[in-house]
Structure 1
Amino acid sequence: MFHGGIMASRLRFFPAALALAALLQPARAEQPRAVVELFTSQGCSSCPPADALLVEYSRQPDIVALSLPVNYWDYLGWKDTLAHVAFTERQKAYAHSRKDRQVFTPQMIVNGKKSSIGSDRDQIEQAIQATTKGRKALPVQVKLSETNGTVTIAVEETPDTAQREGEIWVLPVLRSQTVPIERGENRGKTITYANVVRGLNRVGEWRGGSARFEVPLETALKGGDGYVVLLQSTDAARPGVILGAAKGPGL
């Protein structure tokens, strides 16, 4: 998988044999049923409705909603103030994984698998239904706790999942960021973005069953004021289906 963004240091993995229960806070009322990633740009006139829709999704407790601003529209007269080349490369890697080579804005990737127009709620909901196959939550449970400046990530395999391997990622996010746009296609608009990703930090590999990972809280929050954890399969070293996810406190 593409390892863009700021790579975390001092990330540690602990064998599954270590006891988990005593270290975990009570489980969230709802495990996420979907992860939606919006590839957007401040220089794209079609993106503001999708950005507003992602704000709505970010308020749903069973959805992990992420904004990933891309940089390939910067030449249109306004350089996106939140964009990162790592997000552009992630979007392209998804297109290669799907084998459709479709890269556009606003593009919503649902559960690492389905591509949708980012402003089309019906299409996104259909993609969620198609990728969850009737399940009320993602197949693998991921639980978080924070103690003494350390985030503990506990992974629990559920019996119905066929996937046995994946990678753990920690993504720092800005929960809300409002940007006045002075030039380009969105000149004069002020747009609020939700859960803007600030880094892609690969923690380690998951090979099935229960496992525990630890990450410094400072790393999980670097550049942001919240964080999200993804458990994601890989397809020829590219991002694949998302197997599990969890939101940090306050998201």
Structure 2
Amino acid sequence: MFVHISINGRLILRWCFAVMICLTAGAAFSWEMQEQPEAVVELFTSQGCLPCPAADRILTRLGDENKVITLSYHVDFWDYAGWADTFALPANGELQKAYAKRAGTGRIYTPQMIFNGERAVVGSSAEELRTALESASLELSLNVEIESQDIVNITAGPRSGLGNAIVWLVTFRDSAEVDVASGENMGQRLSYSHIVTSRRPVGMWDPTTGMEISIPVPEALGPANDGFALIMQEKDGALPGRILGAVMIAR
């Protein structure tokens, strides 16, 4: 499809495939933007978990598909088994526990994939993943406008029948390899993609008024990250609900 991008009053016409939009302005910046995905897939994984590498590889393959945004959340509850996960964040484990509480099970495990904040499947089960993807969809479309060389404006219109949603900014590293020296995966070199480094709220979407938010891209990314996803997720009390819409921007 053709995408019109206006930067500093200058209209640029570029050809882009599927939903990956290439954004360039000389040497100032170079981004890729993924719009209108059908699914956000969140993988809870650990370097100390024996079946997790298979799920990590699946997530990488899913991330190559234009209609899926993938995020890898490393957890630390397997660290006791002999290897401390080098990417684990306590907040990742708390998010997984919140999903389990909302599901009414209280059970957490790895590898676990959550589709659009609703459906949990075993991350290494190809059959479960295929079924989840076939039925996955998002309620809202996010519109992205380039304001300047380093600011994007993201809007989502009102929509009745939905609840208020938190807008989360989730930063990630694009890829990394880790040599595991102990634990269940000892001796393996493990590869990872879209490794979550932070997750923080930056706004709200209201079903009656919609949302408009401006993101300063360099500041959002910081020096160590390769991209971020902006995720609109319904509140279920104090717990995470459905993901209604998302967009991803990467270097």
Answer yes or no: same fold by TM over 0.5.
yes
In the alignment, the residues of structure 2 paired with residue 177 and residue 145 of structure 1 have an alpha-carbon distance, to the nearest angstrom, of 31
Report deviation, 1:182: 1.1
Q: Considering only CA atoms, is the larger Rg found in Structure 1 or Structure 2?
A: 2
Report deviation, 1:216: 2.4
Whether the aligned pair in 1 keeps the contact of 2:168 and 2:200 (CA below 8 Å) is yes
Deviation sequence 1:154-195 (CA, Å, 0-9, x none): 22346xx73142111111111111111111110111111111
Paired residue type of 1:51: D
Pair 1:234-2:241 in alignment: no
User: What does residue 47 of structure 2 align with?
Assistant: 42
The Cα RMSD (Å) is 2.4
Report deviation, 1:126: 1.7
Pair 1:78-2:83 in alignment: yes
Report deviation, 1:196: 0.6
In the alignment, the residues of structure 2 paired with residue 221 and residue 49 of structure 1 have an alpha-carbon distance, to the nearest angstrom, of 28
Report deviation, 1:51: 0.3
Whether the aligned pair in 1 keeps the contact of 2:163 and 2:235 (CA below 8 Å) is no
Secondary structure (helix, strand or coil) at the match of 1:194 reads: strand
In the alignment, the residues of structure 1 paired with residue 75 and residue 250 of structure 2 have an alpha-carbon distance, to the nearest angstrom, of 26
In the alignment, the residues of structure 1 paired with residue 151 and residue 62 of structure 2 have an alpha-carbon distance, to the nearest angstrom, of 28
User: What does residue 196 of structure 1 align with?
Assistant: 195
Secondary structure (helix, strand or coil) at the match of 1:175 reads: strand
Whether the aligned pair in 1 keeps the contact of 2:204 and 2:211 (CA below 8 Å) is no
Higher share in strand: 2
Distance 1:221 1:213, change over 3 A: same
Report deviation, 1:38: 0.3
Distance 1:219 1:71, change over 3 A: farther
In the alignment, the residues of structure 1 paired with residue 216 and residue 244 of structure 2 have an alpha-carbon distance, to the nearest angstrom, of 23
User: What does residue 224 of structure 1 align with?
Assistant: 225
Deviation sequence 1:29-48 (CA, Å, 0-9, x none): 44100011000000001100
Whether the aligned pair in 2 keeps the contact of 1:171 and 1:220 (CA below 8 Å) is no
User: What does residue 99 of structure 2 align with?
Assistant: 94
Paired residue type of 2:95: R
Deviation sequence 1:76-127 (CA, Å, 0-9, x none): 1111000000000000000011112120000001110011000112202222
Pair 1:143-2:148 in alignment: no
1:127-142 correspondence to structure 2 within 5 Å: 127-132=132-137, 138-142=138-142
1:1-251 correspondence to structure 2 within 5 Å: 29-30=18-19, 31-132=36-137, 138-146=138-146, 147-157=148-158, 162-208=161-207, 209-222=209-222, 223-249=224-250
Whether the aligned pair in 1 keeps the contact of 2:228 and 2:249 (CA below 8 Å) is yes
Secondary structure (helix, strand or coil) at the match of 2:69 reads: strand
In the alignment, the residues of structure 2 paired with residue 111 and residue 219 of structure 1 have an alpha-carbon distance, to the nearest angstrom, of 27
Whether the aligned pair in 2 keeps the contact of 1:145 and 1:151 (CA below 8 Å) is yes
Paired residue type of 2:165: G
Instruction: List runs of 5+ in structure 2 lacking aligned partners.
Output: 20-35
Instruction: List runs of 5+ in structure 1 lacking aligned partners.
Output: 1-20, 133-137
Identity over aligned pairs, percent: 34
Distance 1:242 1:85, change over 3 A: same
Report deviation, 1:153: 1.9
In the alignment, the residues of structure 2 paired with residue 120 and residue 210 of structure 1 have an alpha-carbon distance, to the nearest angstrom, of 37
Distance 1:215 1:66, change over 3 A: same
Distance 1:145 1:171, change over 3 A: farther
